[in-house]
Structure 1
Amino acid sequence: MKLHQQRTCIGCRTVTSKNELLRWVLTDGAPLKVVSLDLEGSAFGRGTWTHATQKCVRQAVQRKAFARTFRSAVDDSQVAQAFTAYEDQLAASQQSGKHDESGSEI
């Protein structure tokens, strides 16, 4: 029996399956590193996780959880915009009747 990997949401601090969470990573930026969304879940380096809700993402930014998790000063000003773009992309794919991963119709 295969165990599901568990991760902690840095917004609400709830432990859940990593399949239910979004992964965030650091990318190079000047002068600070920038937090960006890793939809594939395969970006190199340390990642951190949040639920796919505005509430958890907002809490993570307010609590400065990204800087604490990545153990460095980070620019998290674009996090809310990246999450909104993700939600818009998700809504558009649901309206078109296409399933994101396989491309098949629902």
Structure 2
Amino acid sequence: MEPVRTCVGCRARAPRSALLRVVRVDSSLIPDVRASMPGRGAWVHETSECMDAAIRRRAFVRALRASGPLDTQTLSEHLQRNG
């Protein structure tokens, strides 16, 4: 049975394979496509609606326990390439 995770954007539960893991490297959000990077991760659907909701609600900051704003440029570029 596949593990279930919660999307930080829409708060819906989904199988791990249906979500994208995002990690924080310094103050940037980096997509972890293989879900193998070390550290704390946040899970999100790979849609612009869920990404925008997570950024607007500061869900990545809370989920990754960051103390300040996070740079979302790398994450946005990934979404544009794969979305």
Asked if the contact 2:47–2:79 (Cα under 8 Å) also holds between the matched residues in 1, the reply is no
Question: How far apart are 1:59 and its partner, in Å?
Answer: 0.2
Query: TM-score w.r.t. structure 2 length?
Result: 0.86
**Which structure 1 segments of 5+ residues have no match?**
92-106
Aligned length: 83
| 1:74 to partner: Cα distance | 4.1
List structure 1 segments (4+ residues) > 4 angstroms apart after TM superposition: none
The aligned residue for residue 30 of structure 2 is 36
Gaps of 5+ in 2: none
Q: Structure 2 counterpart of 1:72, which letter?
A: A
Alignment root-mean-square deviation, CA: 1.7
Larger relative contact order, structure 1 or 2 (CA cutoff 8 Å, min sep 6):
2
Q: Deviations over 1:55-99 (max 9, x none)?
A: 000000000001111122243332xx33442244337xxxxxxxx
**Radius of gyration: which is bigger?**
1
Residue 85 of structure 1 aligns to which amino acid in structure 2?
E
Distance in structure 1 (CA, Å) of the matches to 2:6 and 2:66: 19
Under a length normalisation based on structure 1, what TM-score does the superposition of the two structures give?
A: 0.69
Residue 25 of structure 1 aligns with which residue? 23
